[in-house]
Structure 1
Amino acid sequence: MNTTQLECFLAVANFLNFSRAAEQLRITQPAVSHQISSLEDELGTKLFFRTSKSVRLTQAGHLFTQYANEILKLSGLSRARLKECQETLPQRFGIGCRNFIELRLLRPVLAQLGQQQPRLLPVLRLLPYASLENLLAEDDVQVLLSLQESAPSKAVYRELARCPLVCICTPDHPLAAYDQLTIEQVKNGGRIATCPPPIYPPALFSVQNQVVAERDPDQMLFCDNLEIVHTLVEAGYAFAIMPDLPPARIPGLRYIPIPAFSTISFGAVYRKDSRNATLRLFLSSLESLMQSAFSQAPQV
């Protein structure tokens, strides 16, 4: 049973004429007849006596008019209540991140979005690569941040910046004395903290291999994630090579360019069917942040 059947039934019951009912409902007379017949089949009883000259309600039809009216009223009330709830409930917007650097990048963007859309409720997910791709496919998150090499192939990738590769170290590290570094200087720079794929994408992993080649085991610290890498760097145990995202830099560390290495594309990933107003605003705010940060960022 559906509301179309009930609307057709009540219109015919009111006019006792299929043509007039069809005219009021703005559908064809055969469509009205089909809806009435299917409703009668579902209920297992005739609702109208029909002849070539007249239409009359049966006893069951008279009884059913009360129920049909109540069902339609309840349906309308339910839609109205749900609409009210949608207008007052927070607007959830899922954002996927793969590491804490991307989370740091979000802070100024979320602050701006909160001012522009007071009902917005960000839902942040910090998960491994494959998990986030599944959540994006299922629309549990509407956008995720990613290097282009790590972006899901079936989604839309929008580049936000070309990130130079930098050496990250403490101010008292031997490499911190330079304004920029050569590959040879990085090779001889001491202990390095590294991550395996997929945490490091192929381009970054290739760079890492150039730097760690022929190094003694005690000169390499293999880490499970970027949080561990940065902790060891901040503690002075090693340096690391990373794509530079100026808005997400950690205060107190040096970020030294390595011009010999190519830049890496960083951006946002979303579904092809997810271009809503909140996503557009998010992408616009994030793009503005990145452009401003890269144009103003000093080498530290």
Structure 2
Amino acid sequence: MNTTQLECFLAVSNFLNFSRAAEQLRITQPAVSHQINTLEDELGVKLFHRTSKSVRLTQAGQMFIQFAGDMLRLADLSKTRLKEYQRSLPLRLGIGCRNMSELRLLRPALSRLRQEFPQLLPVLRLIPFDSLENLLEEGNIQVMLTTLENAPKKAVYQELVRCPVVCICSEGHPLAGHAQLTLSQLKEAGRIAACMPPAYPRGLFAIQNQIVSGRGTDQLLFCDNPEVMSTLVGAGFAFAVSMDLPYDRVPGLRYIPLPEFEPISYGAAYLPGEKAPALRRLLKLLAEVVPEGWA
């Protein structure tokens, strides 16, 4: 039994005319007759006495009118309640990050987004491995922060900012007094704290390798992630090479430009066809607030 059968039954009951019922329902008369026939077959009773000149309800048909009306009202109420439930559900937006620096970068944009989408509940995934790309492809997250070279091939990439390559050191480090540095100077600068992919973008890792090359093991500190690296750099154990990411500068550290290297494109990646309003707005807000992170 379905709502179309019930609507046809009530329309014919009202007009006692199949043609008039078809006009009201905006379907053909044969379609109305088919729905009534299948309903009668399912119920195992005749609902109408039909002749070439008249249509009238059977006793079973008269009894069924109330049931049919109740079932249609219940169906309409169910649709209304489900729509209300869907509207009341929190709006979830999955965002993937590889390190704490990216979470800090997200904060000002999410703060503004919360005011525009009160029902929004961001789901932040902090995963420093390539499995983050799988979460995007499987729909478990809708967007991930990444460099251009690390963006998934199937994704749409939107650049937010171009990050200069810098040397990071403590204020007491021998390099701290320089306004800018060269690769040659860094090769002679002592111990370096180094990160491995995917914690580091491939382009930055290649620059780091040029500095690491030829160093003894006592001149290397391998770090699992940028947070470990910045801790060791801040404690004065080493210097490091990194992107100058907005909202990521640590007080007490020096960020010295390396002008011979091209800035690294940094942005957001999402799947083609993704049109969620909250995601689109987040991308626009990131484009507005990310450059402010250097102010």
Structures share fold, TM-score greater than 0.5: yes
Report what 1:155 is aligned to: 155
Amino acid at match of 1:281: R
1:293 to 2:284 alignment: no
Q: Describe the shift of the 1:54–1:223 C-alpha distance in structure 2 as closer, same or farther (beyond 3 A).
A: farther
> Contact 2:92/2:120 (CA < 8 Å) preserved in 1?
yes
Task: Supply the AA of the counterpart residue of 1:132.
Answer: L
Give the structure 2 partner of residue 212 of structure 1: 212
Is 2:5 the partner of 1:12?
no
CA distance in 1, matches of 2:143, 2:214: 40
Equivalent in the alignment of 2:81: 81
Aligned length: 295
- Residues 257-266 or 225-234, more deviating: 225-234
Change over 3 Å in CA distance of 1:235–1:70 after alignment to 2: farther
Q: Any stretches of 5+ residues in structure 2 without a counterpart?
A: none
Deviation at 1:51, TM superposition (A): 4.9
Which segment drifts farther, 148-157 or 109-118? 109-118
Q: 1:10 to 1:134 in 2, by over 3 A?
A: farther
Shift of residue 144, structure 1, vs aligned partner: 1.6
Q: Which residue of 1 aligns with 2:227?
A: 227
Measured on the aligned residues, the alpha-carbon RMSD in Å equals: 2.6
CA contact (8 A) 2:130 2:198 kept: no
Say whether 1:240 aligns with 2:261.
no
If the length of structure 1 is used for normalisation, what is the TM-score? Answer: 0.86
Alignment partners' CA distance in 1, 2:186 and 2:44 = 83
Higher Cα radius of gyration: 2
Q: Secondary structure at the match of 1:247?
A: coil
Once the two structures are superposed, what CA deviation does each residue of 1:130-181 show, in whole Å capped at 9, x if it has no partner? 4333332343322221111111221211111111111122211222121111
1:68–1:96 distance in 2 versus 1, CA, 3 Å = farther
Q: Is residue 145 from structure 1 mapped to residue 145 from structure 2 by the alignment?
A: yes
The structural deviation recorded for 1:39 is 4.8
The Cα of 1:104 is off from its aligned counterpart by 0.6
Residue 102 of structure 2 aligns with which residue? Answer: 102
Aligned pair in 2 of structure 1 residues 101, 40: CA closer, same or farther (>3 Å)?
farther
Question: Percent identity over the alignment?
Answer: 63
1:271 aligns with 2:265: no
Answer yes or no: is the 8 Å Cα contact 2:105–2:290 preserved in 1: no
- Report the CA distance shift for 1:223/1:79 in structure 2 as closer, same or farther (over 3 A): same
Aligned residue identity for 2:292: S
CA displacement at 1:102 relative to structure 2: 0.4
Deviation at 1:63, TM superposition (A): 5.0
Please name the residue that 1:127 is paired with: 127
Displacement of 1:72 in angstroms is 2.4
Structure 1 partner of 2:25: 25
Measure the CA separation in 2 of the matches of 1:50 and 1:235: 95
Q: 1:246 is paired with a residue of what secondary structure?
A: coil
Residue in 1 aligned with 2:114?
A: 114
Given the superposition, is the C-alpha separation of residues 147 and 67 from structure 1 closer, same or farther in structure 2, using an over 3 Å criterion? Answer: farther
CA separation in 2, counterparts of 1:43 and 1:240? 80
